[in-house]
Amino acid sequence: MIGKLFRAIWTGVDGFRKVIHLVLMIFVFVVMLAALGSGQTPVNIKDGAVLLLNPSGVLVHELSAGELDLELLRMNDDPP
């Protein structure tokens, strides 16, 4: 009797979980389709246009790898 009760409760909880999962998956699918089909207009770039870069801060010429990384690179560059 108690086993049947717990089985019924578990079946209900599992069914609810499956329904929630299905609803969430359909929602994600609809959102993805809406994002893909939003009809964004392409950006028009005129002929002869120039890309303007405006970096700020201090520019340095410095290796970003550590000593171990550099040594491993040197070992791999040498012919056998």
Note whether residue 46 is domain-resident: no
Note whether residue 47 is domain-resident: no
Note whether residue 31 is domain-resident: yes
Q: What is the pLDDT of residue 80?
A: 42
Residue 57 to residues 13, 38, 53, 54, 62, Cα–Cα distance (Å):
57, 38, 13, 10, 15
78 pLDDT band, cuts 50/70/90, is low
Residue 25: domain span: 2-40+52-77
| Degrees to nearest 5, angle at CA 70 with 67 and 75 | 125
Rounded to whole angstroms, the Cα distance separating 68 from 65 reads 8
- For the chain, how many structural domains are there in total? 1
Report yes or no on whether pTM surpasses 0.85: no
- Reduced to 3 states, what is the DSSP secondary structure of residue 72? helix
Note whether residue 45 is domain-resident: no
Instruction: Count CA atoms within 13 Å of residue 4 on its CB side.
Output: 1
Quick: pLDDT tens for 5-41. 999 999 999 999 999 999 999 999 999 998 888 777 7
